[in-house]
Structures are given as C-alpha cells and as structure tokens.
Structure 1
Amino acid sequence: MSTAQRLISGTAISWLQIGVTIVSQLALVPVMLTYWSVEAYGVWLAVTAIISLVSLVDLGHHDFLMYEFMRIGRNDPTQLSRYLWSGLLFSLLISTVQTLAVALLLATDTLSVLFDSVKLANPGLLHEGGVTLLVFSIGWGLTNSLSGLMTKVLLPFGYYPRMAWWGLGLSIFFVVTIIASVVLGASLQLTAVITTGANVLFTGLIYLDLFRLLRREGITYTPPSLGLGYHNFVRSLAVSGKSGLENLRQQGIRLFLPALVGTTGLATFSTLRTGSNLALQGLNTIVQPLMPELMRFLHQRDQARCEAAFGTIWIIVVGIMAPATVVLQLVVEPLYALWTRGRIPFHPLLFALLSIGVLVFALIQPGIAVVKGNNLLRPQVVLSALAAGCVLGGLFGLVPGMGLVGIGVALLVAEIVAAVGYQLVARRWLAANGLQWPRQAYAIVLTSVVLAAAACLAIVWLPAFRWLTLAGALLGLGANAWRYWQVLPRLATERALKMAGEWWRIISRQPVAEPA
C-alpha cells in the first residue's frame, strides 16, 4: 500500500470514528440528562476527568515508546521485541499502582474534595462516583494498558488503518453499552460495571488479532529486561509530566471547576466544549496517520517531503477548519438548545474562545510533531508548564469575576503561549539538522486563523451584522486559501491532488491500481 493510500485509509477510518463520536455525543447527553440528574451527569464527567489524570503515567509511557518504535523501524524486529516486552512489564506495574492509588482515594474519602460533595443534593452520588472510578481503573489495566502498547509497536509496519478499525468497533460497542445501560435504569456505578465488562470482552478479540500480527512481523516473546524497561520508564516520566500539564488544559481543568462554578457549571463547560473536542479529534484524523511517514522524512532529512507533510495538515486548517469554525459560530446556538433540551445554557463567547483555541492548536501541529516525534523532552515539559501556569492563573484569577468565560480566556492564552514555544523549538531543531521551517506557508495559515478568530468574535459582539460578517470572512478565507495553494511546493500539491483522486475513487467505488 502506497503512502497516499495509507493516509487515505487511515484518515477515512478516523473520520468514521469522528462520526461515531458525534452521534454518540448527540445521543449520550440527552439520554443521560433524561434518565439521570444534572448532578449525576456532572459526577460522570468528573470521573472521566479523574481517570484521565491517573492514567497519565501509563499513557506517557506508551507515547514515549511509540516514538522509540518508530525510531527503531520495521527492519529490526528483535529490538522491537525487547522494547515491547520490557514495556509491557512496566505497563502492568503502572496500571496496578494506578488502581491501588484510586482505591486509596476512595478509602481515605479524598474524593469528597474532587467531587465537591458539599454542593451535591444527593450525597450518595459521591460513593457511586468513587466506585465508578475504581471500576474504570481496573478495566483500564485489563485493556488499554497492555493493548495500547501492543498496537503502537505495529505502527511502523503500516497497521494504523487496521488498528483504527478495531478502535472504531470498540467505540461503537462501548457507546451502545452505555446507552442501553442508562435507558434500562442502571445507576452510575452499575453502568460502569456493565460497560467495563463489555469493554474487556471486546478487547479480548483485539488481543487475538494483535498476537497474530506480532507473530507475522517477527515480534516474538522476549524475556523482559528490567534494566531496559526501567530506563525507558524513567525517560517517559518527562512525557507523562508534560502530558499531565497538557491534560490540565484538556480534561484536568474539570477537577477545579466544581469548587468554582459547581457541578452544574462543570456540566455546562464540558457540554460546550464538546464541539471543540470533536474538532480536535477531526484534526487527529489527519495527524495520526501521517506521523509515521513524517518521522521517516525527518530522519531522512528530506525537506521536500517534510514540507509536503506539513502542507497536508495546514491545508485542512486553511481550507476546512477556519471557514467551518466561522459558520458553526453562526448556527450553533439553536442546535445546541435542541441537543441539550434547553437544560444547559449556551455561552456564545465561551464557545468562540474554545473554537479559536482549537484553530491555534491546529496551526502549530507540524511544530508539535517535530518536537514530540524526536522525543525532545525538556522543551515539551517547559512549554507544557508555561501553558498550565496560564490556565491555573486564569482559572483562579478570571473565573471569580468573569465566570465560565474566564476559563475560555485562560485556555486560549495557554494555547497561544504553547504555539509560539513549539514553533521556536521546531525551527531550531530543523535548522540544526539541515532542514527549514516553511515560514511563508506558516504566515498564510496564521492569517486564516486570525481572520476566523476575528469573525467569530464579531458574530458574538455584533450580532446585528452577523450575516455580513460571515460573507466577508468566507470571502477573505477563500482568497487566503487560494494564496496558500499557490505557495505550496510541487510535491505537496501533487500529494493533495493524488489524495483527492484516491478519495474520488473510494466514493465512486472505482478500482485502485496497485502501486508499482
């Protein structure tokens, strides 16, 4: 399978995952608000935030080893086996400690602080939330902790689409199980038990396929090396620390919100942020399939193909994300009211700030890929710490006076700080390794982000001119997109046209010729 075909296949499956996520969010929110109280829904969101936090060490270990697997490459299965089995041993240890830590939180009643039990009308929700958290932690150890690492070792062999299909199936199964449990009257903790059990059963099928693929590629069992495993684990702690600080901007911020705005405010913020989270996932449908190829181009010092890879990401920002953000800002409010059944208020300015933050994050994705792909750990930690400081400072400095909008301001400032830092670090690394940062293309993409941001804010602050704002914004964004296409290197435009052709063949169901 050619590079373009792998990107098309991986992206197509990832877009299906986005579709499933959208449908699941559209279904889960009204279902939970119908059968559960808003407080129970808020506790559910808090549980998901906490489980994201306690699993950071494990996920950081996975991410570090993923880039090590890409560095080693597909031509050295013996080395891959050593790294995999040593990593699996430490993943098992990490998940065990993680579960014990959750049990300790439950036993010492620390969760009362995290769930803000004073404001809960039903104190029994605190206990249910704790049991739910413990069940999810046990389920993590049996599924994601091990299968996630085994999935990543297969990425250098081009199995991203296959793994994405498994992920799609698991997502559908998981969501259907949650909805069925809630509709049939399951409580918070019973829903957790049912969905975790179903997740374990489905992951068992994934394990069978993973072991078969590992044997096919010559990645056989190798006695784990404590020394190698410990060395990689210690180095991965920097990634975990960085991920923890980043998680503060994505999920961990929910831990502080109950004390500042109550569980109802948490539900409002989390529901409003659903749209931006979906946009982030949509961006990942392009970035994740591209990462193995981009790492190969960087290691080969191939400037033309690196720019083509950057262009594949940026053309999505310029041609799709920026104009879609403006259109969504204009039409989202009535759709949101229908979706939440009018039970959760809409904040147009907060929604605009969250959307602009997504555009800033998308803008700097090539820079993040360079820094993360080469495991440049120190700048990752420093930049994540700076961004987290912006979030915390804004959280406690702005929320008391501005309410939920203060959270949006803090998150946007954090994204801007991180974006500037990642661009500087990426430019320095590229220059030190005989490559160049595509400054002209970056400036054009930045222009699209600024235009979209200004249009979103104008729609909020000048609602009487919203249609005029939309027309002007789309005209300016269209002209800028054409300008961007003109400055793309030939290889990038050829790849874009080839990918468009592949998409057309898929849509029209025409056979695709095998690559020479």
Structure 2
Amino acid sequence: MANTAGIGMSAFAQLLSVPILLGAWGAEKYGIWIMLTTIPMYFALTDLGFVQVATSEMTMKVAKGERDAALGVFQSTTALIASICAAAVALLIGIAAAVAAMGYVTVTQNMQLIVLLCFFSAFTLLSRLPLGALRATGHYALGTLVYDFLVLLEGLAALLTAHAGGDFSAVALCLLGMRTVNMAVLNMLLSRQVTWLRYGLAQARIREIRRLFKPAIAGMVIPVALATSLHGAVLVVGAIVSPAAVAVYSAVRTCSRLMIQVVGVVNRATMPEVAKAFASSENRSLGAILSMNGLLIGAVLLPGTLLFAAFGKEFVELWSRGSLSPSRTFVSLMALATLVHGAWYFLSNMLLATNSHVSLAKYILGASAITLLLAVVLGGSIGLNGAAIAVISGELLCLAATTVAFLSRYREGGWRRRPRHDSADRKY
C-alpha cells in the first residue's frame, strides 16, 4: 500500500509536469530542460551500486540479528558515498567549466544551472542512505511513504516555480532546497525509529567496502543500462532529431512506463522480503514471492501495454493539450519496449535483493552499449521510430541475459535449500 501511494504521487507529479512545463516554456525549451536534467540521472550512477547492495546486505544482517555487522555496513557505505559525492561534484563542475571555456554556448549559458543540478544530484544520492536503512530495518512502508511524499512536494514546488515564471536556474534552486528538507526529515525519522543505527566512522571499515565492491559494481550495471537505453536515448534524439522531438519521446516514454510502476508496487516491496527469506533459507516464501510477481506481469503489465499501444496516441495528445502528437507506430514500439523491460527488470530485482547479480554485469553493460549505438544509427535514419527500435533491441538483450543468469543461479542452488534437521530439531 505504501508503494501504491508512492506510485500514485509520482504519477500525479509526472502527469502535471508535461502540460505545466510546456505551457511555461514551450516545446523547445522543455526539450532542452529534459536534456539538461539528465545530469542527475547519470550522477546517480556515481554511488557505484553501493546503496542498493548495502541495503540488501543490511536487510540480511538484521534478519540474522547481526546489528553490529549491519551498523558496519551502514557507516562504511555512508563514508564512501559522501566522499564520492564530493569528488563527483567537483569533477562535473570542472568539466562543465572546461567545456564552457571551449566556446559551447549552451553550456556557457547554463553554467549556474549545471552547478545547481550537480548539488541537487549529490543530495538526491545522499538521501537514499537513510531511506535504504529504514527499508532494511523493517520500516519499509514508513520510509517509502515519507520519502515519496517529500519527493511529491519537491516536484510540485518546482512546477509552481516554473508556472510563476521561473527560469531553469530558479526551478533547480527550488529542487535543491526541497531535497535538503527531504534529507533532514528522513534522517530525523531514522534516528527515532532505529536508535542503534547511527552515523559515524567508528564502525566504518575499508574491508567492508572491499567485500561489497564486486556486487556493488555489478549492481551498478542495472541503472547504467536504464540510463543508457532511456536517458541516453533522450540525448541522442535531441542531438540527431530535435529538442522538440525530445519532448515527444519523453512524454510517450513516461506514459508507457506507468504499468511498470504498477507492477513495481509489489516487486519493490518484495525485495527486502526476498533478502530475509534468503538469509533464513525460507524456500517456500521465495517461491510464493516469485509466483506473485510473475502473475502481476501476466495480469497487469501485458494488458496494460496493449491498452497503451491502442490508445496511447490519444492520451498523449489529450495530456499535452494538443502540443504533442506522436505517431501510432512510435507509441506501439514504446509499449513493446515497456513489456520486455518489465519482464527482465522483475528478474533482476530478485537477484539484486540477495546480491546474487554479479554474473549479469558484462551482459547488461554490452546490451546498453548496443542500445546507444543503434539509437545513433537508427535515430538518424528513421527518427523517433528508430530510437524506439534501439530501445527494444537493448531490452531484449537484457531479458535474455537476465533469464539465463536467474535460471543458472536457481539450478546451481543460488537460492539456499532449507537444511535438514533431525527429529529433535524439528520438535524444537
């Protein structure tokens, strides 16, 4: 139910964003905004997958009653992420300044915006730490509701700023201020709900970071794949087609992925439960969770994407008040991409929940690179439809790789069997 509320709040903000920003800035400026705000998307990759891996690890430690070990994971990850954020902000600002000095007008004109977005990205990354800690310690619903509500307020404040006449920098400054509030509230909530899980360096260990390094790097591949096939395609469309085409692509992509959000209501909520069942060798619970997620794909995602393929064009036109009119072919292609994505992303989350995803890394990364190359080639020749075909190709490769990795892990005993006990143990 917490995820349902979160999905509803996210969908509400997304549905409002297109007509409000189009009305405030027009299609071309809106397309430029979408391109510039890919900075936070790529910045999110700088945690190298440690936040998700640490959350899964803490969940399994807490399930076993190992609080000191969970605290060590939390403090070690916090120290690493804070250091990475500081270095990444300095690096990105330095690169932007160098590019501006080379005479790129777009970068020069938007330097202030880029700096604000860099800091916003860093704060967004840091805010995931208390959220992950709440989810790992049995407060998934509370943490999710508070976080998603604060993100909704953040988005509404930004839209109100744009509607009132604010430019890109004003909207970015608003986002940064609201994210600061988000972090403060989440950390206060964590300190009250989980008194033993505290910030500091006393339990931080280099060896803990080294131990988590391999699954963290592998876990980073999934957001890299998403960023390449989705947000990378935004940059390709903007560079090869036009900024106005970015507005069409972004709107259709947002609508097409609403069904992913619906399935994610259960899928994301089951991740800590998968970790707990895995740590406790509860195979029956694991089987039930897998069956439930599979049923949702067949009963919700499949019919949802079919409906979008049939009526998505009209919905986007109505949503944008006639400003955007995608072709029916493009809408259908994006619907197919969503269906394939939902299937492999569900399986990858099951692996990610137990840090059993290392073998996926090279295959998902290769699929991402192929997607971007195809987007450049096909986008230049057949426009938006070409970009959509590129995304579908990448999603199919990801599906194949994830299916093989999941089945291999299952057959090799990756999901632990419940150990045999003697009669005394069973009686006890």
Q: Supply the AA of the counterpart residue of 1:176.
A: L
Q: Supply the AA of the counterpart residue of 1:264.
A: A
Deviates more, 1:300-309 or 1:61-70: 300-309
Q: Supply the AA of the counterpart residue of 1:133.
A: I
Q: Supply the AA of the counterpart residue of 1:208.
A: M
Alignment pair present for 1:228 and 2:232: no
- Report the CA distance shift for 1:304/1:271 in structure 2 as closer, same or farther (over 3 A): same
Aligned-pair identity in percent equals: 17
> What are structure 1's unaligned runs of at least 5 residues?
1-11, 118-122, 437-516
Q: Supply the AA of the counterpart residue of 2:349.
A: A
- CA shift, 1:56, in A, is 0.3
Alignment pair present for 1:19 and 2:35: no
- Report the CA distance shift for 1:112/1:149 in structure 2 as closer, same or farther (over 3 A): farther
Q: Supply the AA of the counterpart residue of 1:248.
A: T
Alignment pair present for 1:395 and 2:388: no
Contact 2:267 2:293 (C-alpha < 8 Å) held by counterparts = yes
- Report the CA distance shift for 1:334/1:386 in structure 2 as closer, same or farther (over 3 A): same
Secondary structure in 1 matching 2:169: helix
2:249 counterpart residue number? 269
Give the distance between the partners of 2:18 and 2:335, measured in 1 at CA: 20
Contact 1:131 1:189 (C-alpha < 8 Å) held by counterparts = yes
Q: Supply the AA of the counterpart residue of 2:139.
A: Y
Give the distance between the partners of 2:133 and 2:164, measured in 1 at CA: 40
- 1:102-501 correspondence runs (5 A): 102-109=92-99, 126-127=107-108, 129-141=110-122, 143-215=123-195, 217=196, 221=200, 223-228=202-207, 230-231=209-210, 234-235=213-214, 236-433=216-413
- CA shift, 1:199, in A, is 2.3
Contact 1:174 1:199 (C-alpha < 8 Å) held by counterparts = yes
Alignment pair present for 1:35 and 2:24: yes
- Report the CA distance shift for 1:129/1:283 in structure 2 as closer, same or farther (over 3 A): farther
How far does the alpha carbon of each residue in 1:355-400 deviate from its partner, in whole angstroms, 9 at most, with x for none?
1222222223453134323324542211212311330232123222
> What are structure 2's unaligned runs of at least 5 residues?
417-428
- CA shift, 1:289, in A, is 0.7
Secondary structure in 1 matching 2:99: coil
Q: Supply the AA of the counterpart residue of 1:136.
A: L
Give the distance between the partners of 2:107 and 2:265, measured in 1 at CA: 36
Q: CA RMSD for the aligned pairs?
A: 2.5
Contact 2:22 2:30 (C-alpha < 8 Å) held by counterparts = yes
Give the distance between the partners of 2:110 and 2:133, measured in 1 at CA: 35
How far does the alpha carbon of each residue in 1:399-431 deviate from its partner, in whole angstroms, 9 at most, with x for none?
222211111111112111111211111111111
Contact 1:84 1:150 (C-alpha < 8 Å) held by counterparts = no
- Report the CA distance shift for 1:63/1:287 in structure 2 as closer, same or farther (over 3 A): same
How far does the alpha carbon of each residue in 1:317-373 deviate from its partner, in whole angstroms, 9 at most, with x for none?
222221222223222322211221222221222221221222222223453134323
Give the distance between the partners of 1:435 and 1:225, measured in 2 at CA: 29
- CA shift, 1:309, in A, is 0.5
Give the distance between the partners of 1:54 and 1:435, measured in 2 at CA: 33
Give the distance between the partners of 1:166 and 1:211, measured in 2 at CA: 14
Give the distance between the partners of 1:241 and 1:319, measured in 2 at CA: 29
- CA shift, 1:128, in A, is 5.0
Q: How many residues align?
A: 414
Structure exhibiting the larger radius of gyration computed from Cα positions: 1
- Report the CA distance shift for 1:138/1:220 in structure 2 as closer, same or farther (over 3 A): closer
Give the distance between the partners of 2:131 and 2:26, measured in 1 at CA: 38
Q: Supply the AA of the counterpart residue of 2:74.
A: L
- CA shift, 1:241, in A, is 4.5
- CA shift, 1:94, in A, is 0.7
Q: Supply the AA of the counterpart residue of 1:401.
A: S
Give the distance between the partners of 1:314 and 1:255, measured in 2 at CA: 33
Give the distance between the partners of 2:32 and 2:101, measured in 1 at CA: 11
Contact 2:130 2:190 (C-alpha < 8 Å) held by counterparts = yes
- Report the CA distance shift for 1:148/1:435 in structure 2 as closer, same or farther (over 3 A): closer
- Report the CA distance shift for 1:136/1:214 in structure 2 as closer, same or farther (over 3 A): farther
Give the distance between the partners of 1:356 and 1:333, measured in 2 at CA: 14
Contact 1:20 1:172 (C-alpha < 8 Å) held by counterparts = yes
1:91 counterpart residue number? 81
Deviates more, 1:403-412 or 1:195-204: 195-204
- Report the CA distance shift for 1:402/1:288 in structure 2 as closer, same or farther (over 3 A): same
Alignment pair present for 1:62 and 2:55: no
Contact 1:50 1:255 (C-alpha < 8 Å) held by counterparts = no
Secondary structure in 1 matching 2:57: helix
Give the distance between the partners of 2:296 and 2:237, measured in 1 at CA: 33
Secondary structure in 2 matching 1:21: helix
- Report the CA distance shift for 1:101/1:283 in structure 2 as closer, same or farther (over 3 A): farther
- Report the CA distance shift for 1:401/1:351 in structure 2 as closer, same or farther (over 3 A): same
Secondary structure in 1 matching 2:183: helix
Contact 2:240 2:380 (C-alpha < 8 Å) held by counterparts = yes
- Report the CA distance shift for 1:410/1:213 in structure 2 as closer, same or farther (over 3 A): same
Give the distance between the partners of 1:381 and 1:400, measured in 2 at CA: 29
2:421 counterpart residue number? none
Give the distance between the partners of 1:211 and 1:111, measured in 2 at CA: 45
- CA shift, 1:163, in A, is 0.8
Q: Supply the AA of the counterpart residue of 2:202.
A: P
Deviates more, 1:323-332 or 1:267-276: 323-332
- Report the CA distance shift for 1:31/1:218 in structure 2 as closer, same or farther (over 3 A): closer
Contact 2:306 2:335 (C-alpha < 8 Å) held by counterparts = no
